[in-house]
Amino acid sequence: DAGVIQSPRHEVTEMGQEVTLRCKPISGHNSLFWYRQTMMRGLELLIYFNNNVPIDDSGMPEDRFSAKMPNASFSTLKIQPSEPRDSAVYFCASTQGQGGEQFFGPGTRLTVL
Amino acid sequence: GIQVEQSPPDLILQEGANSTLRCNFSDSVNNLQWFHQNPWGQLINLFYIPSGTKQNGRLSATTVATERYSLLYISSSQTTDSGVYFCAVAPSGGSYIPTFGRGTSLIVHP
């Protein structure tokens, strides 16, 4: 299996621009998680989907952040407008079944200038 | 929510040494994982171990769920073991959302 796939791997953008991060979970996995990692705050859960439905989005920082999962094999995390404090590594992870072993993608390193 | 504490926060070893990393959690769990984040930032699965003991090469892990802790053992450490080790737990009782500890940063010198 190809594992969790994320794109782009690196993104540099200017403040105010829209950023879209993409994730393809492992085939057959029905739970998907978006995380953000910074030195200051560590790994933070942003949103959790089960069977394409958002279950917990309490970690989404503010209205500038939105996430969708239109089907079982694709999810997006969008930031509009982006701000320098959004600079971080964003990870996507998936599991088979709730409570299953979690597998992470390689992450997207976002820099907002 | 559930609290996860990892110790020590930092560890420096000479190649060949053994070490034990600890993860304490504040409530009963339905799963527990250990991850290694390598210097390139990749999060690599080490163990999925809600209870019991598992071994994989030089690494082994033990979770004592009734006492709310897990241990990760690294034997004969190598420079490639350097990185940050995370423990993640999901509480029992319906939430399947893992909570991560702050990690143990390990440096292995040649």
Instruction: Tell me what percent of the residues of chain B surpass a pLDDT of 90.
Output: 90
Residue B109: what pLDDT?
A: 96
Cβ-defined contact of A42 to B102 (cutoff 8 Å): yes
The set of residues, in sequence order, having a beta carbon less than 8 Å from that of B82 and lying 6+ positions away, is: B38, B39, B106, B107, B108
Residues A10-64 pLDDT 10s:
999 999 999 999 999 999 999 999 999 999 989 999 999 999 999 999 999 889 9
The answer to whether B91 and B105 have CB atoms below 8 angstroms apart is no
Is residue B48 less than 8 Å (CB to CB) from chain A?
Answer: yes
Give the count of Cβ contacts less than 8 A between chain A and B.
43
Is residue B12 less than 8 Å (CB to CB) from chain A?
Answer: no
Exposure b/e, A33-51, CB count within 10 A at least 16 = b: bbbbbeeeeebebbbbbbe
pLDDT in tens, chain B (110 residues): 899 999 999 999 999 999 999 999 999 998 999 999 999 999 999 999 999 999 999 999 999 999 999 999 999 999 999 999 999 999 887 778 899 999 999 999 99
Contacts of B41 in chain A (CB under 8 A): 89, 106-107, 109
The answer to whether B45 and B90 have CB atoms below 8 angstroms apart is no
Residue A1: what pLDDT?
A: 64
